[in-house]
Amino acid sequence: SQQGEEDPQALSIQEGENATMNCSYKTSINNLQWYRQNSGRGLVHLILIRSNEREKHSGRLRVTLDTSKKSSSLLITASRAADTASYFCATDNSMEYGNKLVFGAGTILRVKS
Tallying the residues shown for the chain, one arrives at 113
Examine residue 27 and tell whether it contacts other proteins (CB under 8 A): no
88 binds other proteins (CB under 8 A): yes
Size of the site for other proteins (CB under 8 A): 30
Q: Of residues 30, 64, 73, 77, which one binds other proteins by CB under 8 A? A: 30
Nearer to other proteins, 15 or 62 (CB): 62
DSSP strands (E only) in the chain: 5-7, 10-14, 19-24, 31-37, 43-50, 55-58, 61-66, 71-76, 85-92, 101-103, 107-112
Instruction: Report the chain's C-alpha Rg in angstroms.
Output: 13
Which residue ranges make up the site for other proteins (CB under 8 A)? 1-2, 4, 30-31, 33, 35, 40-45, 48, 50, 88, 90, 92, 94, 96-106
